[in-house]
A and B are shown apart, each in its own frame.
Chain A
Amino acid sequence: MKNLKDIAYKTLFGKDQKAFKEFRYERSVDIPHIFVERNTGSIIAGIEDTIDYIKRYFNDETDYVLIENSSLGISSFDPVIGVQVPGRALILFKNVKYNYVSTILDSILNHILPDNDFIIAQVANEGLSAWPDITELSELGLFAKQNRRVLKNFGFVQPESIESYFNFGGYSAFAQTITQKTPIEVCNIVEESHLRGRGGGAYRTGKKWRDALNTGKSLKYFICNADESDPGSFSGRLLAENNPHLVVEGILIGAYAVGARKAVIYIRNTYSLAIERLQKALEQVEKAGLCGEDIFGSGIDIDIEIFKGPGAYVCGEETALIASIEGERGAPKPKPPYPTQEGLFGFPTVVNNIETICNVPWIMQNGAEKFMETGFKNSFGTKLFSVSGKTDVIGVIETVMGASVNDILDVCILDGRKSEIKAVHIGGPSGGFIDAPNFGLNLDYETINSSKLWLGSGSFLVLDESNCIIDISKYFIRFINNESCGKCIPCREGSQRLLEILERISEKPQDNNKHESLLRFKGVTQLEQISKLMQKTSLCGLGQNAPNTILSGLAKFRQEYEEHIYERKCVANVCRNLKEYFVIIDNCVGCGICAKKCPADAIIGSDHHAHFIVQDRCIKCGVCESVCKFNAIMVK
């Protein structure tokens, strides 16, 4: 390890491309190799226990190697382990809780396949004998339908090892760039590739870089925005946790291109594993001489620092993010001046999303034209989507930019359940709904913008009939209301009023006077009025895009709104507060089963006499209705 610098130099510039004799999954092994995908998702799913049990299983008696591996990106598979026994191909198992460890290892170490439920796929290779009747990972529908470019090595590269990253061709893009290209050439290549900001702004990255490069100031900053705080989006965490070196390489290229001597990774404080791994990656990179002073004798200095963000949604906005690094309150500032002119501490600053940055090494390696081979209209490359909700697969998938909603649903819904999907909510709190008839919509920036939606950082929430549109809207507006920085009036006051209106229509009126009813009806017209004001006059993207959820919901699910207001009915049975439960005295035989089952002790009555529901105590859970055998519970 002490000669890491020499080895890195040899690997990147010498002919001996395989300078590292570290393990790669294609090779044959002499002792069993166990790969564990350790990341935040799998830690929650219990990988730590699984690792513990694996260690206990071998108990220092058998030789084995335990390797921490990166994630495939599919959280619903967690915890995932991979096993490679001598002579055989790597095989991946899903949902390996600690109690299944011994069963699986017992059989696989004896070359017997365990229960099919655990098997994801195998990774076959020449010279290694494949397992019979097991699908190849790349042929598995879930992965075959994706276009994995940024996520290419995910599942194979080891997040805490720079050698592993070198083995997958890492840092060669940076080495080529810094030795063979001038900064302006890099900016041009990135601009020719039409790479656009993946954080939601969709600004042309190359243009931004060139703007900063052309300012001609000596000190510039390059900031990687990994402050991913929207609910339903976790692609940034996946990138930072599982391939920190990819992030670092992208930052190094970007910083070189804009002439920035200082780069900052702005990451949420709560992403502790990602921070830990990024820190390790930075240490390794410095040891390898890829960062710091005079990189490869080129006279270029680039320092990378990690800044732990306090975790505010608004700090994803670039001016707020810069203010946060400066130690100020994380509130956006009016633009212009743009950060490329006057940013961090008054110096030109480029802020790029982590996903944008992860695209850069690929572009530098494969060229702009190749990047533009995939895409739709003016949006090229690939896009990560964080899929969650009523799907079979929860996790991050990568598709071609401009793939339709249907394409993504095809990837993540395995059987024919697609017809049950009512809507898809894309873009997190700033995004909006797409209803089933519009599932053919291409998710490229132009189409999205013309549909008055927002791609954001690619959250993809799948909703079916058991989801209430008003409830989902209420959730996102409440999020906006809490996370608004409170600076501009339309966003601060507007979101508060929107939330109150939504709450009003999803609850039974407190007293049935005319004024209350009038307010409920007025609410819908006011929703549109306030939403439009917020869109037109808010200071930053947070406020401007906040009402998208409401406006798209109103446009496509107006009926659901009307049902809530006029009939006080929630089809999805989510807005429980709209309902009131009564006992039909004639039907009630006084069996008392409802009173026993009621969790709130809201049903009173004596045996063999009709019971009564105390409305003040009722929590509208509906248990009484489901347990009553005499149809004596009525819902109003």
Chain B
Amino acid sequence: MAIEFYVNNTLQKAEKGETILSALNRIGISIPTLCNMAELSPTGACRLCVVENADNGNLITSCSTPVSANLRILTHSPEVIAARKTIVELLLTNHPENCLYCDKSGDCELQKLAEELNIREKLFYGNKIFGKTDRSSPGIVRDMSKCILCGRCVRICEEILDISAIDLINRGKNTSIETVFQKGLYYSDCIHCGLCVTACPTGAILPKSNLNQLIEKLGDTKISKSIVVSSASIADMASKYGIRKYEEARNYIMAALHDIGFEKAYTMSLFSDFFISEAATAILEKITKPPKPLIITDCPAVKKYIQTKDPELSQFVCKIPPSQQIAAKLLSIEQKTDLLVSVSPCIAHKYEAVQTQNTNKGVPEIDFVLTSGELSKLLKTLGVSLPYTKKETPDKPANSDSSAGVFFETKHGITEGIVRELSLRSGLSIQLNRILEIKPEKDFAEYEFDLNGSKYRVAAVYGIENFKKYRTQILKDNYLFVEVRSCRYACLDGCGQSQSVDIENTKRLRKIIVEYDEKNSNNSAGKNPNIKGFYRSNNIDRIFNND
């Protein structure tokens, strides 16, 4: 708190090197901005954060200017308001203005800004430049006509992920954001992590939605329909509709899904149990072999990242498919179903579902992958509101799950689940529901645990940027296995969640799942009777070979 400066004629303090914007936000004055994001470098593109320098009347951008001593600024002088207003008016002139048909409507920062600045009359008239729409990706739709070129997506892809799947091309009025050679996102290096979707202030980058086709199919009585819902999505719905308990929300959703036309409704936690069980088998096999890092991930984004950007690591990646694909493969054997729908908190699973290894003669094993947001919309469209009037448990075989399978989708969940399973198999009876002291605030955490008297170290890393940062450590430090996921809060802050992905909300979701986990005595994959039953009845000890 070294520097003193004046905001609207009152004395305020700021730290040295702090930008005006962050100082103002700390003080509690909100300044509109469309391009600034806390973790990205300031770019000064939108010019909406201008404040007036009271000494000379100049307008300076608060996002990029550091506070200087005795600076006198006016944050909402008539001139500042007029400038901001004209900027938004100019943006709107080149905007499709079809908010009624836009998926982002209601959540759109541009829309909100126009409302805040009281723009209720169209001032400028002119030609609109209609950009192309990129629909190549199964998960993301980029509509360039709605793009305001704030560059958040470009910077997030470059600065945080260092992938640069998209970048600005051309100049002047023809500037647009494109993939390499304008071939489309699917053919680019995009890993479908969805960070750009969460960053976009307008409806220019949105998750792709197939909801209408699904609703059409739901009316078809000749086909059998099944749905698998992930626990992060259940937690998201619970928090959205004010349901405190996980199992309560799960049962409401299962009943609702049965009522809107799904014959079978499952939870993903069963298949997460399978994942844990398979991973544990693979690890136990590995313990006896010479040390070699084993990267365990359920995240399609991480797999794509390694495949395109770091192919050297491919050999270390555990080859067990994500639980969504395990579900597809097992359900196609066990329960014949014509239409299989999966609900997940992210769009990477939409991408994963159409990969060659997950298709059968070109037809994806999973017909529709919905995001949590889409599930919420689906229920709303079909007239179902939560909390529902009925409660039903998931269908067999998902009627029993272990809490590890539910905990799987929170931070460090895979690590914890596998360690529990390993301990269980080595003959320890797990009384406490926590073996590891989970540190949910850490993006890279190391854990140590005992197994048959010898100590093992494992690590969990969240976010592609952290994965890159700790890459050498992961390879060198002789961990038993390393859990990697692309989202900072595991699956809870996936870009497909129906609510905004801020930290507070993520903590709320985590609490719902953790409470369920703490109470459940069925705390490891191996304790799930259906898992045990499956392996015993098929007389196998593993489904997928890791070699």
- Point out residues on A near B: beta carbons under 8 Å: 312, 314, 329, 331, 333-334, 336, 481-490, 492-497, 500, 519, 526, 529-530, 533, 536-539
Contacts and interface: CB of A to CB of B under 8 A. Distances in A.
A29 B295 CA distance: 84
Interface in B165-187: 167-168, 170-175
A482 to B, nearest CB: 5
Contact of B65 (A333, A336, A482): A336
A380 B148 CA distance: 44
B43 A489 contact: no
A496 B91 CA distance: 11
Contacts of A486: 149, 168, 170-175
B83 A533 contact: yes
A500 B125 CA distance: 9
Contacts of B58: 536
B544 interface: no
Interface stretch (B44-52, B232-240, B495-503): B44-52
Contacts of B50: 536-537
Contacts of B86: 529-530, 533
B44 A492 contact: no
Given A482-B171, A486-B173, A334 B64 contact: yes
Given A487-B43, A489-B91, A539-B47, A526 B173 contact: no
Contacts of A333: 43-44
A540 B529 CA distance: 67
Contact of B91 (A484, A493, A500, A538): A493
Q: B interface, by DSSP: helix, strand, loop or mixed?
A: loop
B126 A496 contact: yes
B403 to A, nearest CB: 49
A487 B45 contact: yes
Nearest to A515: B125
Contacts of B61: 334, 537, 539
Nearest to B174: A486
Contact of A482 (B87, B168, B172): B172
Interface of B: 42-48, 50, 58-59, 61, 63-66, 79, 83, 86-87, 90-91, 93-94, 123-127, 148-149, 151, 167-168, 170-175
29 contacts: A329-B168, A331-B168, A334-B42, A334-B43, A334-B61, A334-B65, A481-B172, A481-B173, A483-B172, A484-B172, A486-B174, A486-B175, A487-B149, A487-B151, A487-B168, A487-B175, A488-B46, A489-B90, A489-B149, A490-B47, A493-B91, A495-B172, A497-B93, A500-B127, A519-B125, A526-B123, A533-B87, A536-B50, A536-B79
A497 B126 contact: yes
Contacts of B43: 333-334, 487
Contacts of A492: 149, 172-173, 175
A536 B59 contact: yes
B64 A497 contact: no
Given A497-B93, A500-B126, A539-B45, A329 B167 contact: yes
Contacts of A483: 171-172
B44 A539 contact: yes
Contacts of B173: 481-482, 484, 486, 492, 495-496
Contacts of B171: 312, 314, 482-486
Contacts of B47: 488-490, 537-539
B34 to A, nearest CB: 8
Contact of A530 (B59, B66, B90, B91): B90
Contacts of B126: 496-497, 500
A489 B125 CA distance: 16
A380 to B, nearest CB: 26
* The 10 nearest A-B residue pairs measured at CB: A486-B175, A334-B64, A334-B44, A493-B90, A537-B47, A500-B126, A484-B172, A533-B86, A536-B59, A482-B172
Contacts of B42: 334
Looking at A314, A482, A497, the one whose CB has the most chain B CB atoms below 10 A away is A497
A483 B50 CA distance: 24
A147 B152 CA distance: 51
B87 to A, nearest CB: 5
A604 to B, nearest CB: 33
A18 to B, nearest CB: 52
A533 B89 CA distance: 12
Given A334-B42, A484-B171, A493 B94 contact: yes
A392 to B, nearest CB: 36
A494 B83 CA distance: 12
Looking at B46, B87, B168, B172, the one whose CB has the most chain A CB atoms below 10 A away is B172
Contacts of A488: 44-47
Given A481-B172, A489-B45, A490-B47, 20 more contacts: A334-B43, A334-B44, A334-B61, A336-B65, A482-B171, A484-B172, A486-B170, A486-B173, A487-B168, A488-B44, A488-B46, A489-B47, A490-B90, A492-B175, A494-B90, A495-B173, A497-B126, A533-B90, A537-B61, A539-B44
